[in-house]
Amino acid sequence: MVACRLRYPLALTVAGLTLLAVFLASPRADADTATHAFPIRGSHSYGSELSRYGYARGRLHRGQDMAAASGTPLVAVTGGRVSYRQYQGGGAGYYVVIQGDDGRDSVYMHLQSAAFVAPGQRVRKGQVVGRVGSTGSSTGPHLHFERWSAHWYDGGSAYDPLAALKSWDVPLRPSGLTARPGSDRVSLDWADNPPEGDLAGYRIYRRTADTGYVRIASTGASAYVDRAASRNTNYDYRLKAVDRLSNLSGYSNSASPSAEAAPTAYAQTVDNADPERFFASASWSRSTWNTQRRGADYRYARPGAASDSARFRLRVPRTGRYEVYVWHPSGSAYSAAAPIGVRTTEGMRWRRIDQRTGGGRWISLGVHPLAAGDRESVFVSRSTSAPGYLIADAVRIVER
């Protein structure tokens, strides 16, 4: 068991009554992870009773000893200002004292080398200030950590920091949880917590419409498959990170496979401006005049004897039913019966669209069976006896 045997430069006599007063005057206002961080960024242990704050072997041990590997980063528990950085060969070794913005001093002893921060320097909560070592009077690498009600040997009194330490000693709240439904399972994924700290894994919680969150599993990985999910139940999931001391983080975001269950329907929009997906002869002129156009411009052509279609090439990811839409600007000089064809698995399906009205929005041509593939699928033909310009602007398909 590591422990420190410290001789302090300043003697401090602490009567029992004073100790009691200090205890009563040490509210756990600092037990807040929003404002305070655990001082060791890495695996650690609190050790035995000998590591505790209090009288042992006839003297007051003013701090908590925590064992950790040599070189483990030590961080400021709260924002503050460095007041001492010194070396004491027969006692504290390399040590640093930080005056916290919370009005309390924190003291770190037995650092591997001189602290990284100098007296007078501001530090942020979580800023690395040194590394765990075993300098001074120490039997192994550990941090001797003190908390003082005010300034160190200057108006303040040391108090037992263990409750605050344990309240700060929690893993980071996991994030990025997603839930993906399968036919007989739900697959969960989340972002890995940073490797520092003594993270042991994650606990997974699930609820239904009828129950609160119930822990269903633990895992050391950052993914989990819930094979006990039944198909017709809506679940919410969330998780907590847990460390080797069984400290739990706060809850992650929650994720629900039902909310994401409808796999996003495939949709594709093709504008006449796309040279890879729109094709028309030179008889189809370009215009930007009508403000109901979609995109930068549209194409227009006079009716003719030949089809000479403007063609939209669509990618259909899988054979199935798709709603097909067209977009055109409208105007009184446009066609009253523009022939628009859709290539379906059952052949071409033609409809005549009045382009004099209804412009500037998607107009459905109905739901059609389309075959998987990437091909010219929607056609605007010039072959019509109706007067007025034929317009080709944009098409859209949405999987149904």
Where on the chain is the footprint of Zn ion (CB under 5 A)?
4, 63, 65, 144
By beta-carbon proximity to Zn ion, the closer residue of 41 and 144 is 144
- Bridge partners (DSSP) of residue 381 are none
* Torsion sign, CA atoms 187, 188, 194, 199: negative
**Counts of helices then strands in the chain (DSSP H, E):** 3, 29
Closest separation in Å from C-beta 138 to Zn ion: 8
Q: Both tokens of residue 290?
A: 């009508």
Q: Which of 241, 288, 45 is nearest to 143 (CA)?
A: 45
Other beta carbons within 10 angstroms of residue 68's beta carbon come to 24
By beta-carbon proximity to Zn ion, the closer residue of 65 and 393 is 65
Closest separation in Å from C-beta 216 to Zn ion: 41
Closest separation in Å from C-beta 146 to Zn ion: 8
Place of tokens 């400021």: 76
Return the residue nearest Zn ion (CB atom). Answer: 144
Closest separation in Å from C-beta 77 to Zn ion: 16
Using CA atoms, how far apart are residues 327 and 343, in angstroms rounded to an integer? 18
Closest separation in Å from C-beta 189 to Zn ion: 42
By beta-carbon proximity to Zn ion, the closer residue of 63 and 156 is 63
Closest separation in Å from C-beta 74 to Zn ion: 14
Spatial contact of 250 and 238, defined as CB atoms under 8 Å apart: no
Other beta carbons within 10 angstroms of residue 282's beta carbon come to 7
By beta-carbon proximity to Zn ion, the closer residue of 97 and 370 is 97
Spatial contact of 190 and 239, defined as CB atoms under 8 Å apart: yes
Q: Which of 316, 328, 322 is nearest to 352 (CA)?
A: 328
Using CA atoms, how far apart are residues 49 and 245, in angstroms rounded to an integer? 16
Using CA atoms, how far apart are residues 306 and 308, in angstroms rounded to an integer? 6
By beta-carbon proximity to Zn ion, the closer residue of 111 and 179 is 111
By beta-carbon proximity to Zn ion, the closer residue of 2 and 342 is 2
By beta-carbon proximity to Zn ion, the closer residue of 142 and 206 is 142
Closest separation in Å from C-beta 6 to Zn ion: 6
